[in-house]
A and B are shown apart, each in its own frame.
Chain A
Amino acid sequence: GESVGLHLPTLSVQEGDNSIINCAYSNSASDYFIWYKQESGKGPQFIIDIRSNMDKRQGQRVTVLLNKTVKHLSLQIAATQPGDSAVYFCAERALAYNNNDMRFGAGTRLTVKP
């Protein structure tokens, strides 16, 4: 079946380095993607989104890349800081999901070492 998944469950980086978190999706009808950040014991927070008519979108210290050819999504965090430590997960929207519009990946836990 269709699914959203992640390549790596954990990622550890040194403070100041760049981080790259990856996500694979299998539904070619997906037209909208979001990256969420979830800190321990809290609800997910929106980080950045991208629509399928784009291949790159930049925010403050974050960039999302979309490769529709291989159905791959990535989140790049520049100059990673200790406050970036959290679980990051991607979400895809496909209206073919019959009104249950978004599907979520399991997440990658990012740990930033001082």
Chain B
Amino acid sequence: DGGITQSPKYLFRKEGQNVTLSCEQNLNHDAMYWYRQDPGQGLRLIYYSQIVNDFQKGDIAEGYSVSREKKESFPLTVTSAQKNPTAFYLCASSIVGATYGYTFGSGTRLTVV
């Protein structure tokens, strides 16, 4: 079955650590996105990529980094510069132009301990 997979489901980060969230899709989508979701709030765009080896900052990119070395993969690194990283992170993918909207992964919940 085609889909988008995020791992891990739960992640704990110590102060000063960098952590990487995985996102893999086998939908042959060119575009991929990372969103942050805080309780009671909507989705906020962190980074997006329309093509391999290229990506763009979203509304809240500070403290995050991404790479897009393969079409199928778009990992997100939460760096120590992100002072409030506790949140639910969602990865999504689409064909360019989002003619049929976005397909979302199941999310990763990151907690600072």
A-to-B contact residues, CB < 8 Å: 9, 32, 34, 36, 41-46, 49, 89, 91, 93, 95, 99-102, 104-107
Considering only residues 30-60 of chain B, those with a C-beta below 8 Å from chain A are 31, 40-43, 45, 48, 50, 56, 58
Residue pairs across A and B with Cβ atoms less than 8 A apart, 11 shown, are A32-B98, A32-B99, A43-B106, A49-B101, A89-B43, A91-B102, A100-B48, A100-B58, A101-B98, A104-B42, A106-B42
The number of chain B residues touching the other chain, given as a range, is 20 to 34
State how many angstroms separate the Cβ of A96 from the closest Cβ of chain B: 12
* B48-76 near A? 1/0 per residue, CB < 8 Å: 10100000101000000000000000000
Looking at the assembled complex, report how far the CB atom of B108 sits from the nearest CB atom of chain A, in whole angstroms.
10
B94: Cβ under 8 A from any A Cβ: yes
User: How many contacting A-B pairs (Cβ < 8 A)?
Assistant: 54
Pick from B90, B101, B105: contact of A93, CB under 8 Å: B101
Q: Which residues of B contact A45 (CB under 8 A)?
A: 104
| A107 CA / B39 CA spacing, docked (Å) | 11
Cβ 8 A contact of B104, one of A32, A44, A101, A107: A44
